[in-house]
Amino acid sequence: MHLPRAALEDWMRDFYFDTAIDLGSSGVQCWSLGELRRLLGITAEELDGIALDDSPSYGGPALRRAIADRFAAGDTDRVMATHGSTEAIFVVMNALLSAGDEVVVVDPAYHSLTSVAEAIGCRLVPWRLRPETGFRPDIGELRALVTPRTRMIVANFPHNPTGAHLTREQFDELLALVDGHDLHLVWDAAFAELVHGHEPLPDPSTLHDRCVGLGTMSKAYGLPGTRVGWCLAAPEILARLVPLRDALTICVSPLTEHLAARALDGADVLLADRRAQASRNLERLEEWAGDNADLVSWTRPWGGVTAFPAFPGVADTEDLCRELGRRHDVLLVPGSGFGHLDRVRLGFGGAEDRFAEGLTRLRKALAERRVAC
Ligand SMILES: Cc1ncc(COP(=O)(O)O)c(C=O)c1O
């Protein structure tokens, strides 16, 4: 199996750890262990009581219960905890796909949603979200791409990096499409709990047995360092993941499983804070984009904490992003990792003061370029 280098991860390796201001990540501001303990009342005795043993293959009972109650209509049999949704993507695709299968995948896409299927030898068919239509998904277009050879549809809503989302009506149309064909839907719901002014959609795995839902502690919960994600699916599908899991990671750490379970049980506290911060940042971003309309062209996202703007006159944003990283101490992600050279992924989940400062520095860098041209 040959996996290409992921341009997005290469960029993050170069700039994520060495920049003071994060305008590029796709999650909310992370919590420290101390903050988590204070907010959720996690005591030292509680942590001391955790045996650093293996966890069960499907995840410990408390974590599976917490995930099921929040996302799987209470059914723990339909939950497997994984090492981030990254592991879930890998094992699900390897279990359900074979070389030669046709896979319709949202485009642009987070890298492993395409690279894993491609490495298996599948034929990828892009379902395009187009800048001309504000990246609005078109289910009619998707319907036209599905053929009797299609074995999987891969969707990610709210979408990284555009922030596009489906309406409930479109979601129902998608499920009807799945029902009418011999295929699986992989529904990457990494940003499910980050929607702006809309109700979150249910996980499709609770509505159809050929739907597989993926989730994570990395985005809305601000806990990527737990490396806890999950896969929601019919028990027969989860059983097919076990041999892959046994060869990859065996299980998740009981320590981070415990933290993830406590965070899910106390979700309202964690989410309220970070959603409020992201929503204030989004208002600031809208104002900033309005004030700098000659320099920025964007579509306001419906969900997630990223937007995918372009800068008129900048055909390839890589130099700009490199300059921001090296000279201005700001992480901004070039669109090349998503197949759009002229765009950037701009994350608005971070700390408010830093976010504001990041926008100031970005404006300065854009204005300087304008003068230099
Ligand atoms: C759409 C999407 N899916 C999956 C992942 C993987 O996240 P993790 O492995 O941290 O759960 C990411 C990370 O950015 C993502 O954006």
Biggest distance spanned by C-alpha atoms of the chain: 62
**Long-range contacts of residues 91-95, Cβ cutoff 8 Å, at least 24 apart:** 91/231, 91/241, 91/244, 91/245, 91/248, 92/186, 92/212, 92/214, 92/231, 92/233, 92/237, 92/241, 93/117, 93/120, 93/152, 93/186, 94/120, 94/244, 95/237, 95/240, 95/241, 95/244
Question: Best substitution site from 67, 218, 223 to test ligand 1's pocket, by max atoms within 8 Å of Cβ?
Answer: 218
What is the reported pTM? 0.97
What is residue 198's predicted lDDT score, i.e. its pLDDT?
82
What is residue 369's predicted lDDT score, i.e. its pLDDT?
84
Distance 86 CA to ligand 1 centre (A): 6
Distance 7 CA to ligand 1 centre (A): 14
What is residue 372's predicted lDDT score, i.e. its pLDDT?
79
Q: Is 172 helix (H, G, I), strand (E, B) or coil?
A: helix
What is residue 100's predicted lDDT score, i.e. its pLDDT?
97
Cis, peptide link before residue 61, omega less than 30° from 0: no
Question: Best substitution site from 13, 160, 187 to test ligand 1's pocket, by max atoms within 8 Å of Cβ?
Answer: 160
Distance 30 CA to ligand 1 centre (A): 15
Closest atom of ligand 1 to 191 CA is 1
Question: Best substitution site from 85, 92, 106 to test ligand 1's pocket, by max atoms within 8 Å of Cβ?
Answer: 85
What is residue 196's predicted lDDT score, i.e. its pLDDT?
86
Stretches in the chain below the pLDDT threshold 70: none
d(CA 223, CA 148): 40
Closest atom of ligand 1 to 27 CA is 14
d(CA 317, CA 319): 6
CATH number corresponding to 49-266: 3.40.640.10
Residues with CB under 6 A from ligand 1: 26, 84-86, 110, 156, 160, 188, 190, 216, 218, 224, 229
Distance 82 CA to ligand 1 centre (A): 12
**Counting Cβ atoms within 10 Å, is residue 73 exposed (0-12), middle (13-18) or buried (19+)?**
middle
For the chain, the structural domain boundaries read 7-32+268-372, 49-266
Closest atom of ligand 1 to 87 CA is 9
What is residue 1's predicted lDDT score, i.e. its pLDDT?
85
Distance 203 CA to ligand 1 centre (A): 17
**What is the CATH topology of the domain spanning 7-32+268-372?**
Aspartate Aminotransferase, domain 1 (3.90.1150)
Q: What is the identity of the amino acid at 320?
A: L
